[in-house]
Amino acid sequence: MNLTYFLFFICIIVCTLIITYWAAKRSVTTNIFYTAAGSLTGFQNGLAIAGDFISAASFLGIVGTIALSGYDGFLYSIGFLVSYLVVLYLVAEPVHRLGKYSLGDVICSRFPGNSMRWIMAIGAFSISILYMIPQLVASGFLLRLLLDIDYSISVAVIGSLMTIYVMFGGMIATSWVQIVKTIVLMSGTFLLSLIVLSNFDWNIGAIVQQVKDNSPLGESFFQAGHLFENPIELFSLQFALILGTAGLPHILIRLFTVRNTFEVRRSLISATWIIGVFYIMTLILGLGTIALLGFNTLVAADPTGNLAAPLLAKEVGGDFLLAFISAVAFTTIVAVVAGLVISATTAFSHDIYHHILKKGKSTEKEQLVAARWTAFVIGLISTIFALRLETINVTFLVSMTFIVAASSNFPVLLLTIYWKRFNQTGVIAGMLSGLCASLALLVLGPHIMHPEGGLIERAAIIPLYNPGIIAIPIGFLGAYLGAILSPKKAQSQILYEQFFKKSQTRINSRSDAS
């Protein structure tokens, strides 16, 4: 075990536990536990949103994808960035005005009922678990590589940490862990980018030429078509990434942590700038990996390319910089997973326990106890899943999470806010059709069905690795058909006018919506 690596990781763990201890003394009400009582400023929340969104797949995966596949790797990151325009212009302010703690609150502000809360809670839980598993698996491999710790112990450590953050610190601890993560991530990435540029005397042309010389792609490195030979695959992936963010529960509940819609806009604009600058730096790091490390060296060390950033850090800065960048990757995983746990916890403890099981009559103390036990159970379940999936490449679950969110949550949210004819049947039909279609396409696709080494050793029935182009229209179609084929209630027009006015104006404060 390298002592430098170990000290960096211990420092990260101690700092985040101090934040959790500080937050735990303040998380004494459900409002504080679930939303930090709306106490974050727009810029602070923007940092937290960026911390919630930039996962290990973004930091480790995008750099490696650019290094191995050239221009296509950068196209991958564009979908992540553009997605925030959809959130900003279509759902952010209505969600803030209509909701209180969860997406179930938003839907129930127009369609009250236990069935609505059940369906939204199930969707939030499914998306959170799908996203959590690859993060935990990645953390296990990272700690095993750097500290020579057994995979199972590594996953157990990360799982325990994320559970502690949420159980005791709630949204305050989760938010500040994400803010610290974003600051550390941007600082580390910026430092590494400067070192890469300085190695070429700040001459971008020299980097480009070196990349062409060192990559087997040659001149075509800066042309599309290496990662996605089929244009439909690229379109399908971008379609899911752009729409999926607007359906991710752990991103949308962050809209409740600020005071008003001005701070909501400020949050998303800040997050978009931070994420955009980050992806520009990943482009520099991807090019620098090939220019300084070389294609063959990278592939020999890690054929997937996921260790491109740590390997580049060691090449240009030795063990100390490698330890720092690896600690950044570790913080990235911890922060994202904590955000996922708080979203799943909120959905179950608030929507199911408080509203359904207790019929809205549970005390503050009972709700906090239920929330903490829910966080513990969710952390335990996701950790067990990650422990069982050590031998399986689960990175595809990241893109699948966006497909599930884009085909289930997003159509329901969008149509609830903007379509007069929409109703409860449409919500249920849209959620079930989108969720079932995306999961069925995953099972029938090449990620699972593969004649050589797949979980099911047969040729894939659906050839698309990214089936968003099929699943997302099914989700919208299910919601549409469910609405138009069900009886129209006499008062739906009046109720919608009141609801829409509330979603688009400041007449009703967020505290009035539940």
Q: Say how many C-beta atoms besides its own lie within 10 A of residue 391's C-beta.
A: 6
| Residue 138, phi-psi category: left (phi > 0), alpha (psi -120 to 50), beta (remainder) | alpha
Residue 1 has pLDDT above 70, yes or no: no
Binning pLDDT at 50, 70 and 90, where does residue 223 land? Answer: confident
Q: Please tell me the predicted confidence (pLDDT) of residue 394.
A: 60
pLDDT tens digits, residue range 475-500? Answer: 999 999 999 988 765 445 557 888 88
Cβ–Cβ < 8 Å for 313, 221: no
Q: Please tell me the predicted confidence (pLDDT) of residue 513.
A: 39
Binning pLDDT at 50, 70 and 90, where does residue 509 land? Answer: very low
Cβ–Cβ < 8 Å for 154, 139: yes
Mean pLDDT of 429-457: 81
Mean pLDDT of 225-250: 86
| 392 class by beta-carbon count within 10 Å (0-12 exposed, 13-18 middle, 19+ buried) | middle
The closest alpha carbon to 141, from 330, 338, 380, 5, belongs to 330
Binning pLDDT at 50, 70 and 90, where does residue 148 land? Answer: confident
Cβ–Cβ < 8 Å for 250, 343: yes
Euclidean distance between CA atoms 429 and 425, whole angstroms? 6
Euclidean distance between CA atoms 94 and 86, whole angstroms? 13
Cβ–Cβ < 8 Å for 254, 267: yes
pLDDT tens digits, residue range 276-290? Answer: 999 999 999 999 999
pLDDT tens digits, residue range 247-287? Answer: 999 899 999 999 989 999 999 999 999 999 999 999 999 99
Binning pLDDT at 50, 70 and 90, where does residue 217 land? Answer: confident
Domain boundaries, the chain: 3-15+42-395
| Percentage with pLDDT > 70 across the chain | 93
Q: Please tell me the predicted confidence (pLDDT) of residue 392.
A: 63
**What residues contact 319, with CB distance under 8 A and at least 6 apart?**
2, 4, 5
Q: Please tell me the predicted confidence (pLDDT) of residue 59.
A: 79
Q: Please tell me the predicted confidence (pLDDT) of residue 457.
A: 62
pLDDT tens digits, residue range 390-441? Answer: 666 566 777 788 999 999 999 999 999 999 889 999 999 999 999 999 989 9
363-377, 442-456, 483-497 — most confident range: 363-377
Average pLDDT of the chain? 85
Binning pLDDT at 50, 70 and 90, where does residue 130 land? Answer: confident
Q: What is the pTM of this model?
A: 0.88
Choose the weakest-confidence range: 34-43, 161-170, 477-486: 161-170
| Percentage with pLDDT > 90 across the chain | 27
Q: Rounded to an integer, what is the distance from CA 394 to the centroid of its chain?
A: 15
Sign, CA torsion 263/264/267/269: negative
Residue 511 has pLDDT above 50, yes or no: no
Q: Please tell me the predicted confidence (pLDDT) of residue 386.
A: 83
Q: Please tell me the predicted confidence (pLDDT) of residue 451.
A: 60
Q: Please tell me the predicted confidence (pLDDT) of residue 48.
A: 93
**SS3 state of residue 450:** coil
231 φ, ψ (degrees, to nearest 5): -60, -25
Q: Where are the alpha helices (DSSP H) in 215-293?
A: 231-244, 249-252, 261-288
Euclidean distance between CA atoms 499 and 418, whole angstroms? 10
Q: Please tell me the predicted confidence (pLDDT) of residue 488.
A: 67
Sign, CA torsion 141/453/469/412: negative
Angle at the Cα of 307 from the Cα atoms of 460 and 46, rounded to 5 degrees: 90
Angle at the Cα of 414 from the Cα atoms of 92 and 239, rounded to 5 degrees: 90
Could you tell me the two tokens for 200? 């070429």
Q: Please tell me the predicted confidence (pLDDT) of residue 490.
A: 43
Q: Please tell me the predicted confidence (pLDDT) of residue 159.
A: 84
pLDDT tens digits, residue range 41-91? Answer: 999 999 999 988 887 767 777 888 888 888 888 887 787 788 888 998 999
Fold exhibited by the domain 3-15+42-395 = Sodium/glucose cotransporter (1.20.1730)
Residue 379 has pLDDT above 90, yes or no: no
Could you tell me the two tokens for 225? 């078509």
The half-sphere exposure of 335 on its side-chain side, counting CA atoms within 13 A, is 34
Q: Write down how long the chain is.
A: 514
